[in-house]
Amino acid sequence: MLYVDLDVHHGDGVEFAFAHTEKVITLSFHVHEPGFYPGTGDGKEKGRGVYNVPMPRGTKAPVWEETVKRGVTMVWERYLPDCLVLQCGCDGISPSEYTNAGLLTDPHRGMSLTTHAFTRAASYILELCKVPTLILGGGGYHPPSTAKHFALLTATILGKELDEDIPVDAEYWEELEHDGGIHVGRDTQMPPDGEEEIERLCEALRQNIDKH
C-alpha cells in the first residue's frame, strides 16, 4: 500500500506506525525547517519504505506541484502498490499575493500553494495510480480556503468542473467571495530557479529509493 501525504506538515504518525514494514510505503511532502512542526521528516530516515521530501518554507506552487508529480511517480514505479491512501491536507495553501495584500490564508504560511496546483497534483496521482484509493482530508486552518479546497478536490475526484463564481445563494457567501471565486490564489508560472529546485528535491528522493 502506498500512503502519500500532501499536508504541509510531516506525516510523522503514519510513518512511525508503519516504519517497520514495507507492506505500507509512506511518502510525505512537507516543510522542514527549524521551528516548523513537527520537526521530523528530514529525508534521512532509515525505516523500511519510508520516504520524505522536505521542502523549504515558502515553496512556490509550481515547484511543489512538479516535485509531487515526479516524486509520486518514482515511488509508484519502484513498488507498484495494490492500493493508495492520499492525504490531502491543504494547510500549504497560502498564496503569497494574498499575504502581501493583507488577506488571510492558512495561518501556518508554510508554502505558497494554490488550489490550481493542488487539484492538478491530485488529479495526476489519481490518473497514475489506478488502484483502489482512499482519499483523506487533513490540515486546513483558514475555513473559507479549506472549504474551497475540499469542494474542488471533491469535483476533481468526481471528474466535474465547478463554476469559478461562488453561487450567490450559498451559505457564507460573503466569507467565500471575499478573496475571489472558487480558487484560492492565482495560477502562477514556474519561478526562474524552479527547475533547479525540483531537480534537487527529486534527486534526494531518487537516492533514497536506490538505497532501499
One of 7, 15, 65, 106 touching Zn ion (CB under 5 A) = 7
Q: How far is the CB of 10 from Zn ion (least distance, A)?
A: 9
What is the spatial distance between Cα 101 and Cα 116, in angstroms, rounded to a whole number?
Answer: 19
Closest to Zn ion by CB, 35 vs 102, is: 35
CA nearest neighbour of 153 among 188, 117, 181, 129: 117
**Per CB under 5 A, which region of 18-26, 41-49, 52-60, 89-97 contacts Zn ion?**
89-97
Closest to Zn ion by CB, 89 vs 95, is: 89
User: In the stretch 130-149, what mask flags binding to Zn ion with x, by CB under 5 A?
Assistant: ---------x----------
Asked if 32 is part of the footprint of Zn ion (rule: CB under 5 A), the reply reads no
Q: At what angle do helices 194-211 and 61-79 cross, to 10 degrees?
A: 20
Closest to Zn ion by CB, 15 vs 91, is: 91
Strand pairing category for 50-55 and 25-31: parallel
Q: How far is the CB of 203 from Zn ion (least distance, A)?
A: 26
Burial code (b: 16+ CB inside 10 Å, e: under 16) for 190-212 equals eeeebeebbeebbeebeebeeee
One of 12, 65, 66, 91 touching Zn ion (CB under 5 A) = 91
Q: How far is the CB of 25 from Zn ion (least distance, A)?
A: 20
Closest to Zn ion by CB, 49 vs 89, is: 89
CA nearest neighbour of 112 among 80, 145, 78: 145
User: In the stretch 95-134, what mask flags binding to Zn ion with x, by CB under 5 A?
Assistant: ----------------------------------------
The angle formed by the CA atoms of residues 135, 140 and 142, to the nearest 5 degrees, is 145
What is the spatial distance between Cα 100 and Cα 64, in angstroms, rounded to a whole number?
Answer: 20
- Contacts to Zn ion by CB under 5 A: 7, 9, 89, 91, 139
